[in-house]
């Protein structure tokens, strides 16, 4: 669990610490923090949002700089202190999954890490609307529970601009400026909303009624909720 104090720009973590996701442990034998502990490493940055899922955590500062700690999503090593990553991107939104994350920067959508159910070598289905293209492959595998860490761009979806992002355990969803919802990733429980339980390697349009209201999308571990705001 992470707590952010707006009054003094402090971030605290407590709970499971086995991958460093709630900050630095006092010793190698310490596997958890049962009281809140200050997480340092943000220098003088003003943090505006914090995120947590799986075994990693993230924070975003006022200038769009992303910090990640815990299970490695970029590079080879887990880290118990926040590390500034992707300095070339001015990031506006972050969504953490179990082994992957989505980041939105100037209307461009990127994924970090990989989905367990992602098969990049599969043929692209004929009805897909955008194909993921690999822009950087920095790396590696850590242990049996980790995956190859990659940075990939998700191309523009039918000319629509992504305005909101969400990630579940191994699936993702976005909302565009036209209120369209796209999903991809793990589909075993029907969480992609596509009428089947298949996995999808690229974003697929979800058949939702057109709405004049603004729309949001939210992902649980194996489910997705879309809501129209009045």
Q: What is the pLDDT of residues 195-220, one digit of tens each?
A: 999 999 899 999 998 877 899 999 99
Q: How far apart are CA 27 and CA 218, in angstroms?
A: 37
Q: How far apart are CA 109 and CA 93, in angstroms?
A: 10
Q: How far apart are CA 102 and CA 106, in angstroms?
A: 13
Closest CA to 149 of 207, 215, 70, 82: 70
Mean pLDDT of 57-66: 93
Contact assessment for residue 17 and residue 80, using Cβ atoms and an 8 Å cutoff: yes
Q: What is the CA radius of gyration of the chain?
A: 18
Tell me what pLDDT residue 133 has: 38
Per-residue pLDDT reduced to its tens digit, 131-178: 333 433 333 333 333 333 567 888 767 789 999 999 999 999 999 999
Of 15-24, 37-46, 94-103, 174-183, which gets the smallest average pLDDT?
A: 15-24
> If residue 67 lies in a helix (H) or strand (E), which one and from where to where?
strand 66-70
Of 18-27, 31-40, 57-66, which gets the smallest average pLDDT?
A: 18-27
**Is the dihedral angle over the CA atoms 140, 116, 68, 102 positive or is it negative?**
positive
Closest CA to 97 of 128, 77, 60, 71: 71
Q: How far apart are CA 201 and CA 183, in angstroms?
A: 10
In this predicted structure, the answer to whether residue 110 has a pLDDT above a threshold of 70 is yes
Q: How far apart are CA 16 and CA 39, in angstroms?
A: 14
In this predicted structure, the answer to whether residue 31 has a pLDDT above a threshold of 50 is yes
Q: What is the DSSP letter of 19?
A: T
Count other C-beta atoms under 10 Å from residue 197's C-beta: 12
Contact assessment for residue 102 and residue 110, using Cβ atoms and an 8 Å cutoff: yes
């Amino acid at each position: 669990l992470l707590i952010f104090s707006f009054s003094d720009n402090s971030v605290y973590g407590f709970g499971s610490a086995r991958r460093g996701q709630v900050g630095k442990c006092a010793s190698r034998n310490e596997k958890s923090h049962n009281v809140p502990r200050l997480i340092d490493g943000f220098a003088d940055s003003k943090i505006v949002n914090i995120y947590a899922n799986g075994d990693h955590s993230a924070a975003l500062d006022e200038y769009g700089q992303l910090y990640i700690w815990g299970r490695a999503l970029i590079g080879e090593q887990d880290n118990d202190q926040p590390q500034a990553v992707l300095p070339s991107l001015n990031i506006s939104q972050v969504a953490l999954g179990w082994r992957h994350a989505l980041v939105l920067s100037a209307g461009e959508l990127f994924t970090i890490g990989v989905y367990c159910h992602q098969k990049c070598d599969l043929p692209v289905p004929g009805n897909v609307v955008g194909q993921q293209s690999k822009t950087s492959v920095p790396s590696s595998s850590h242990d049996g529970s980790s995956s190859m860490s990659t940075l990939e761009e998700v191309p523009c979806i039918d000319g629509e601009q992504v305005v909101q992002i969400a990630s579940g355990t191994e699936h993702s969803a976005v909302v565009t400026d036209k209120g369209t919802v796209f999903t991809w990733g793990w589909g075993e429980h029907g969480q992609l909303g596509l009428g089947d339980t298949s996995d999808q390697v690229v974003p697929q349009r979800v058949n939702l009624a057109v709405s004049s209201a603004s729309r949001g999308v939210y992902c649980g571990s194996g489910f997705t909720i879309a809501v129209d705001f009045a």
